[in-house]
Amino acid sequence: MFDWLHSRKQLYRGPEARGPLRGFVTPAVLWQDLSRRVPQYLADVDQGKLIHPACKRALSDAGGDVGSVWDHTRLEAMQYIIAVPGHNSGLLGEAGRQIEMIDAYLFQRPHADTVIDFTGNTAADFSIAVVAGLNWLTHCAQLAAVDRAQQSGTLRHFRKLVTLARLWWLNEGAVERCAQMLSSGEQPPLMLYLIWSDYTRLAKQIAAAAIFGASVDRSAKLVTLPADLVSRFETAKDPGDLSDI
């Protein structure tokens, strides 16, 4: 059911690495990495080191390569989740709490805000933050002139993913199956993985439109880029796949 979430074995490069993690990482490591990188990215923006939002950058700007725009766009969306008071990732990454978190998300009414107030209820606040992140990505898609067909149904698509995940967690032995998948380097449908995966997918569309233009093939002929960048970008699952270009 969740084949699109399967990932490679762990290639964690250590806490000193500034770029995105590559390959499989546990929920705890992913949360720790995001808790470090999101504030650092926002600090760089506040200090004027990077243009914000990332989708407005040109190739000549700092962080204007397509991999950075892709990565930074999803960090921008993730800032809402990292900002939830308490900084407790258990609802997002612990197997035993997934139904609680999923039900809270499905109960949450959609909203169109990218400036939000928190309620003090952690599950509700995470739910509000997830939608705000999706709204931010929709906003960036409009700024980058992503094809309208790709822009439509963002909230609906994620809700379908979460609904499918709920069915998975209702299966007998789901918690044990989750542990087995994590130990073998696979990603079960934990909310943290679902969020990060969908933000990554949407941010890739935005980066392509922002850097390559509406047509990747046409723009690649007009801009001096590494010869294999377009093909590698199209097949990449994560910005880290482009880090050696």
**Sequence-ordered list of residues with C-beta below 8 angstroms from that of 218, at least 6 positions apart, any chain:** none
Does some domain include residue 9? no
> What digits encode the pLDDT tens for the residues 5-50?
433 333 223 334 467 888 899 999 999 999 999 999 999 999 999 9
Full domain range(s) for residue 133: 28-242
Is 10 inside any structural domain? no
The one-letter code for the residue type at 210 is: A
Number of domains in the chain: 1
d(CA 192, CA 138): 20
DSSP 73: H
Q: What spatial distance separates the first Cα and last Cα of the chain, rounded to whole Å?
A: 33
Please report whether residue 14 resides in a domain.
no
**What's phi and psi for 21, nearest 5 deg?**
-65, 155
Q: What is the pLDDT of residue 244?
A: 65
Q: Is residue 8 part of a domain?
A: no
pLDDT: is 137 or 109 the higher one?
A: 137
Nearest CA among 205, 239, 245, 204 for reference residue 225: 245
Instruction: Assess if residue 85 is contained within a domain.
Output: yes
With respect to residue 160, please indicate whether it lies within any of the assigned structural domains.
yes
Angle 189-239-201 (CA atoms, 0-180°, nearest 5)?
45
Q: What integer is the mean pLDDT of 218-227?
A: 53
Q: Is 90 exposed, middle or buried (0-12, 13-18, 19+ CB in 10 A)?
A: middle
Query: Residue 213 falls within a domain, yes or no?
Result: yes
Residue 21, in any domain of the structure = no
- Report the distance separating Cα 145 and Cα 157, nearest Å: 20
